[in-house]
Amino acid sequence: MIHFLVRTKLLFFIFMIVLVGSPYISAAQSTQKLQKQFDKALQQYESRNFPEAIKELNRMVEKNPDFLDAYLLLSDIYKETQSTGLEIENLLKAQKISQKPLIDYHLAEAYFSLADYENALGQYKKYINNAKNLSDKQKAEIQRKTQNCRFAIKAKNNPVDFNPEKLSNKVNSEADEYWPVISLDQKKLVFTRLIQQTGQMPQEDFYFSEIDSAEWDWAKPIFEINTLQNEGAQILSADQRLLFFTACNRRDGKGSCDIYYSRFQNNKWSKAQNAGDAINSNSWEAQPAFSSDNRFLYFSSNRAGGKGAKDIWRIEFKGLNDRGGIIWGDLQNLGDSINTPGNEISPFIHPNNQNFYFVSDHHTGMGGFDLFTSELLSDSVFSAPANIGYPVNTQKDEQGLNISADGRIAYFASARENTGLDIYRFELDESLRPTPVTYVKANVIDAKSGQALEAKINLADISRPGTLRTETTDNAGELLVCLPLGADYAFHVSKENYLFYSQSFRLADAKTLREPYIFTIRLQPVETGAEMNLYNIYFETDSFSILPPSEPELIRLADFLNNNPTLSVEIQGHTDNTGSEEKNQELSELRAKSVTNYLVENGIDRQRLRYKGFGQYQPVADNETEEGRRQNRRTTVKIIEN
């Protein structure tokens, strides 16, 4: 008896043992001469001398057209040399001679690799109908493959919009460029470049490009982070102060590959540090993704305790200690919605912290690694993943998607022009677009001296009491934070010995992306005559009754007065010009009185407070627009004695 599939690729061989039990054996008997010829071809095959093996086998089938084993060995050779058309041709000839189910299976796999999903589906169905003694696990695997075929047929008949555009040679070079990351303001692109040098191992380094007018400028290396070792699979924090990346086999490593980080300080990147034992293990940790609110770092790992080969995990980020080390919180596997018995890698969380993207080779798809999207329904619950469709996904492997803050443009790497990996961008199909985000980019300075201030920033969702994000400006007084559409936000800036700054951003009803909020905040030192406008104290329409969303702002005001016990202040009420002047004057005074009463009820000495209404007579914005009228409806606090 002559055995087929002798010494095939290791992974394929192992899979077949699991899937079907043992190699199939031709039932055909050969003459001694034919056996000798086949043994010679088999020896050439085992020696990887495929051309001679093919010649020998072709001579055999020319004289013996019903010799099954020759066709089977030819198909195996063509599989290994990726000549799929010839593999199929020989399997079809074998199928005419024998009805062995495994021939059907190999045909199905070959058709699938060519994205001929109709023929692949037919062969998978034929195989599962004819194969005997398949285990439940084997049946489930074939059913998963038939699901992939059905999905792929439907996806190809309903393609999503996809017109990729290759970035210019200022970014792409003769080397491979991949893993693109676009900054929140869409003005910086960070990517990995594989540099090939004669006589040396290929070298992975980080490069960045910035927008010059309307196009990307020449890419430059990030010298402070790049080393003689490889750096790759990186992510940039929303405020561009932290860069997480993957590095393997380093002296300070915990396992095969670890996650490292660098901080941007004083206009340069710090020396990279291992992210520590809380996140890195003696296994493989790689491909980090960082939420824009700085709450979670997502990554892929094959560590113990997962659902499959590689899973996606996340760990809580709780800031930096005095030495610049990261304080980590709880570690969490993303669970059954995302992770499978296969491989889940390449996570990306959109800046809206709701739309999640990743790559899987097990969820229903086009074959190989496909891109999927899911939605974070609550703090830790993800929706069932959806394949993002054809032709973004194909039968080949897709990885490394990164999407702009406005949700319109996606960046990825591809070798589609057969010139190595290059970076492309494309406009996302409307059905795939995440909820866009805008952002606040603030520069905090002393109102008198103009000196940059390191101040505390608080951002809260007005509609969800208790949701609060706290940040600190850098040593240049700058800060950048995301504002996803669909919510109203209270924004506060505070520093000891200064009046605090209050602003609100009304995005709950926004249907399209707003321009980012870029401004300078001039904090007033605590002194007589200084005043601050508060925009997060709300009243019922045409009433002086304070609404519940005002509570955080009023508590902040009370805390400020408690922390500055020598101050006496005047609470001033202001309205827009809607209605009569007399009504507005009365309303503004009653509202100022309501705020004063609240402060007294919460422990502030009434002797330190007085109130006054100014009606519509001191506008700070144009009353012709809704936004202008909103700004004019404000409460002002003025220091009258220090």
Phi/psi of residue 74, each to 5°?
-60, -45
Q: Do 244 and 387 fall into the same domain?
A: yes
Q: Tell me, what CATH number does 513's domain have?
A: 2.60.40.1120
Q: Do 358 and 440 fall into the same domain?
A: no
- Are 435 and 486 contacting, i.e. CB atoms less than 8 angstroms apart? yes
**Given 525, 559, 586, which residue is the final one in a domain?**
525
Helices 136-157 and 10-20, axial angle in degrees (round to 10) = 120
What's the rounded Cα separation, in Å, for the pair 532 and 527?
Answer: 12
Q: Do 245 and 153 fall into the same domain?
A: no
Q: Which domain holds residue 626?
A: 535-642
Q: Tell me, what CATH number does 382's domain have?
A: 2.120.10.30
Please give the structure tokens belonging to residue 639.
């220091």
**Residues contacting 369, CB < 8 A, separation 6+:** 343, 345, 359, 360, 361, 397, 398, 399
| 498-519 per-position pLDDT tens digit | 999 999 888 887 766 667 889 8
- Are 633 and 579 contacting, i.e. CB atoms less than 8 angstroms apart? no
Q: Do 29 and 119 fall into the same domain?
A: yes
What's the rounded Cα separation, in Å, for the pair 55 and 59?
Answer: 6
The amino acid occupying position 550 is S
- Are 23 and 16 contacting, i.e. CB atoms less than 8 angstroms apart? yes
Which 3 state secondary structure label does DSSP give 113? helix
Which 3 state secondary structure label does DSSP give 361? coil
Q: Do 559 and 631 fall into the same domain?
A: yes
What was the pLDDT predicted at 50?
94
Q: Do 222 and 121 fall into the same domain?
A: no
Which 3 state secondary structure label does DSSP give 50? helix
Q: Do 235 and 366 fall into the same domain?
A: yes
Please give the structure tokens belonging to residue 519.
């401004």
Q: Do 107 and 211 fall into the same domain?
A: no
- Model-level pTM? 0.84
- Are 369 and 415 contacting, i.e. CB atoms less than 8 angstroms apart? no
| Residue at 22 is within a domain | yes
Give the number of domains in the chain: 4
| Residue at 5 is within a domain | no
| 537-556 per-position pLDDT tens digit | 999 999 999 999 999 999 99
- Are 637 and 557 contacting, i.e. CB atoms less than 8 angstroms apart? yes
What was the pLDDT predicted at 603?
95
**Given 382, 400, 432, which residue is the final one in a domain?**
432
b/e code 405-437 from CB counts within 10 Å (16+ = b): bebbbbbbbbeeeeebbbbbbbebeeebbbbbb
What was the pLDDT predicted at 225?
96
The rounded radius of gyration (Å) of the Cα atoms in the chain is 32
| Residue at 210 is within a domain | yes
Phi/psi of residue 437, each to 5°?
-130, 145
Helices 101-113 and 136-157, axial angle in degrees (round to 10) = 40
- Are 367 and 397 contacting, i.e. CB atoms less than 8 angstroms apart? no
- Nearest-5° Cα angle at 64, 63 to 69: 135
| Residue at 169 is within a domain | no
Which 3 state secondary structure label does DSSP give 622? coil
| 575-600 per-position pLDDT tens digit | 999 999 999 999 999 999 999 999 99
Q: Do 504 and 555 fall into the same domain?
A: no
| Residue at 105 is within a domain | yes
| Residue at 162 is within a domain | no
- Are 632 and 619 contacting, i.e. CB atoms less than 8 angstroms apart? yes
To which residue do tokens 């000839």 refer?
93
- Are 124 and 142 contacting, i.e. CB atoms less than 8 angstroms apart? yes
Q: Do 245 and 355 fall into the same domain?
A: yes
| Residue at 35 is within a domain | yes
CA 458 to chain centre: 25
What's the rounded Cα separation, in Å, for the pair 445 and 501?
Answer: 11
Q: Tell me, what CATH number does 558's domain have?
A: 3.30.1330.60
Dihedral-angle region of residue 267 (phi above 0 means left; psi in -120 to 50 means alpha; beta otherwise): left
DSSP H/E element including 512: none
| Residue at 484 is within a domain | yes
What's the rounded Cα separation, in Å, for the pair 457 and 469?
Answer: 8
Tell me the three-class secondary structure of 434-476, residue by residue. CCCEEEEEEEEEECCCCCECCCEEEEEECCCCCCEEEEECCCC
- Are 365 and 383 contacting, i.e. CB atoms less than 8 angstroms apart? no
What's the rounded Cα separation, in Å, for the pair 357 and 378?
Answer: 16
Which 3 state secondary structure label does DSSP give 495? coil
Q: Do 408 and 500 fall into the same domain?
A: no
What was the pLDDT predicted at 472?
87
**Given 472, 506, 525, which residue is the final one in a domain?**
525
Which 3 state secondary structure label does DSSP give 69? helix
Please give the structure tokens belonging to residue 437.
């985000």
Q: In what order do the strands lie in the sheet with 409-414?
A: 165-166, 422-427, 409-414, 402-403
What's the rounded Cα separation, in Å, for the pair 43 and 20?
Answer: 25
Please give the structure tokens belonging to residue 140.
């489930």
Q: Do 193 and 115 fall into the same domain?
A: no
Q: Report the chain (642 residues): mean pLDDT per 10 consecutive residues.
A: 36 36 39 85 93 94 92 95 96 95 96 95 95 92 95 95 94 94 94 87 93 90 94 93 95 94 93 96 96 94 94 95 93 96 96 94 91 90 94 83 93 82 93 90 94 92 75 86 86 94 86 79 95 94 93 94 96 95 96 97 96 95 92 96 90
